[in-house]
């Protein structure tokens, strides 16, 4: 009889901890929403870290902030640039990562494990170290300020190859052998058998790759010289001027930039959770 009250108390404390964690995680989002609907003066005078305080929220909702960034600051152009860059990059990542992961998990060739080990070692190299060499390569190819500079260098990912390889290894080899008996090639096996079985991991790769490409800032600022292909992340950064940050416009642009990520996550959250839960269970 004493076990049940203790168990209920543990569940209540666990739930309280989860709610507290959710509230802390939600705070930056609430701050962004509140400040995106304030006037410039309110972002300076009505400041509070407590979302239950009236000073945390605007006196009157300023929807004009969103109209300003869309109409006057050409936010639609940056948004479409980011969408094009992200979709091209994600398509390349899914294609290369799926083919490489299948090869490393289901095909046998000399030096396979050693090559895969070298591939994993590259994950330990900081991106900042590669910034200058990558820029020199892009310059030599005359890709500066072009779409190729923002997409091609990121179409291969050691992490996503490793991630998908773990799922391919969980698929029984018997399926492959049966398909080979029927005369199926490796490409046919990959497309018709393997890919349908790893839809959840592919959704996760899509989301993570899209998120990484969409939020990239350092590399686009290095390889672009005009607004022609600059993504929305660069547009958000431009609201910090010599006169000080235009917080209300910066938060409004950040909300616009965040919208696609939220939509994709809400659509694919079940598949993402399933894939992350099952990662590394076998192999």
List domains and CATH numbers for the chain.
3-62 (no CATH), 73-278 (1.10.3720.10)
As a dihedral over the C-alpha atoms of residue 206, residue 210, residue 212, residue 213, rounded to 10 degrees, the angle is: 140
**pLDDT interval class at 40 (50, 70, 90):** confident
Sequence-ordered list of residues with C-beta below 8 angstroms from that of 208, at least 6 positions apart, any chain: 160
DSSP 43-103: HHHS--S-TTSGGGS-SS--THHHHIIIIIS-HHHHHHHHHHHHHHHHHHHHHHHHHHHHH
Q: How confident is the model at residue 282 (pLDDT cuts 50, 70, 90)?
A: very low
pLDDT at 280: 47
Burial 94-116, CB ≥16 within 10 A → b, else e: beebbebbbbbbbeeeeeeeeeb
Of 158, 153, 151, give the one whose Cα is nearest residue 100. 158
Phi/psi at 244 (5° precision)? 120, 165
Specify the pLDDT at position 279: 54
> Which H helix or E strand runs over 240?
strand 240-241
Q: What is the pLDDT of residue 3?
A: 52
Give the pLDDT confidence of 203-235 residue by residue, as tens digits. 889 999 999 999 998 999 999 988 899 999 888
Across 118-133, average pLDDT: 89
Instruction: Give me the phi and psi of 282, to 5 degrees please.
Output: -150, 145
Which of the four pLDDT bands, split at 50, 70 and 90, describes residue 72? confident
pTM value is: 0.84
What pLDDT shows up at residue 80? 93
């Amino acid at each position: 009889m004493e076990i049940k009250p203790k168990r209920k108390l543990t569940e209540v404390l666990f739930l309280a901890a989860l709610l507290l964690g959710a509230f802390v995680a939600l705070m930056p989002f609430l701050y962004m929403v509140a400040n995106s609907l304030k006037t410039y003066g309110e972002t300076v005078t009505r400041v509070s870290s407590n979302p239950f305080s009236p000073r945390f929220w605007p006196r009157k909702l300023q929807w004009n902030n969103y109209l300003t960034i869309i109409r006057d600051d050409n936010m639609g152009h940056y948004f479409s640039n980011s969408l094009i860059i992200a979709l091209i990059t994600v398509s390349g990542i899914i294609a290369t990562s799926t083919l490489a992961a299948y090869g490393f998990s289901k095909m046998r060739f000399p030096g396979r494990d050693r090559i895969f080990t070298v591939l994993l070692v590259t994950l330990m190299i900081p991106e900042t170290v590669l910034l200058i060499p990558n820029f020199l390569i892009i310059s030599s190819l005359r890709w500066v300020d072009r779409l190729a500079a923002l997409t091609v260098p990121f179409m291969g990912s050691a992490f996503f190859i490793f991630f998908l390889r773990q799922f391919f290894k969980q698929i029984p080899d018997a399926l492959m052998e049966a398909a080979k008996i029927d005369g199926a090639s490796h490409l046919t096996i990959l497309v018709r058998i393997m890919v349908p079985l790893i839809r959840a991991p592919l959704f996760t790769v899509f989301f993570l790759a899209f998120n990484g490409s969409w939020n990239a800032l350092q590399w686009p600022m290095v390889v672009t010289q005009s607004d022609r292909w600059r993504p929305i992340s660069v547009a958000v950064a431009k609201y910090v001027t010599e006169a000080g940050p235009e917080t209300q416009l910066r938060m409004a642009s950040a909300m616009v930039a965040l919208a696609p990520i939220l939509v994709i996550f809400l659509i694919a959250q079940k598949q993402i959770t399933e894939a992350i839960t099952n990662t590394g269970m076998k192999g």
